[in-house]
Amino acid sequence: MEPAFFHLPTLELARRLLGTRLLHATPAGLSGGRIVEVEAYVGPGDPAAHSYRGRRTARTEVMFGPPGRAYVFQVYGMHFCLNVVSGQAGNPEAVLLRALEPTDGLELMARRRGLVQEVAGGQDLSPRLVRNLASGPAKLCQALGITPAQYGWDLRLSPLFICHDRDPVPDEAVASGPRIGIDYAGEAREWPWRFWLWGNPHVSRSRGE
DNA sequence: GGGACGATCGAT
DNA sequence: TCGATCGTCCCC
């Protein structure tokens, strides 16, 4: 992981995060996968962003710091979502991680998701179940055991980290479109700041077209 | 102190 | 399409 990576402009960082891996090492084991879907939230000028108009509270504080930290927040009183803080210090921007293609600790992820009753060691999980492990921002957090306890974590460092382990994804493999769940954001609801790997079956909606 | 509202998910 | 469920934020 080159040090400058998280300093990329937010929209570029969002694209470049696709294809990298998010991993979480815990006493229960290693879990994680390739990032296949993200959304950019571009700071004070973005009506969909928590930091719109520079709103600075205890919740959004980490976005005002250096890039590469974890911004974890709770939604709907029961789910958590994980963002990578982006933008230079003072620019409160972030990239929401929306879906993973599981690569590590699939069984552990299934247990955290409540999708298996018993520890079925070595047993293959169905493709359908694997697609349901982390195909959504809250599913991703549940599958990896991510909670507000990880708020502010430096995502270059174990136990919760992002790493490059293959060549960058070519631009033609990246699709984009409107972000999900921001109908309150006026015209910004149309801005194509959701990015995903074209055709990847692990994205959160419509199987990535 | 009080109330409205979610960057969601899963069952119907 | 709808309900769960509660922290955050803004207003009184």
% of chain A with per-residue pLDDT over 70: 95
In whole angstroms, C9 C1' to A59 CA is 10
Question: Which pLDDT score, from 0 to 100, does residue A165 have?
Answer: 86
CB environment A53-62: b (16+ within 10 A), e (fewer): eeeeeebbeb
Instruction: Determine the pLDDT at residue A2.
Output: 75
Q: What residues contact residue A49 under an 8 Å CB cut-off, 6+ apart? A: A41, A42, A43, A92, A93, A94
Strands A194-197 and A93-104: unpaired
Q: pLDDT tens-digit profile of A125-184?
A: 999 999 999 999 999 999 999 999 999 999 999 999 999 988 899 999 999 999 999 999
CA distance A48 to A40: 10
Residue A154's CB is within 10 A of a number of other CB atoms, namely: 13
Look up the protein residue whose alpha carbon has the minimum distance to the C1' of C5.
A77
What is the pLDDT at residue A1?
74
Quote the pLDDT of residue A43.
94
Protein residues with beta carbon less than 7 Å from any atom of strand B: A 39, 41, 48-51, 71, 74-79, 81, 83, 94, 96, 113, 132, 136-140, 179-182, 184, 204
| A101-115 average pLDDT score | 97
For residue A52, give the nucleotide whose C1' atom is nearest its CA.
Answer: B7
What pairs with residue A79 in β-bridges?
Answer: A75
Contact A76, A44 (CB under 8 A): no
Mean pLDDT of A89-105: 98
Condensed to tens digits (0 to 9), the pLDDT of residues A134-148 reads 999 999 999 999 999
Is the pLDDT score of A40 beyond 90? yes
**Interatomic CA–C1' length for residue A57 and nucleotide C9, angstroms:** 9
Q: How far apart are CA A111 and CA A43, in angstroms?
A: 36
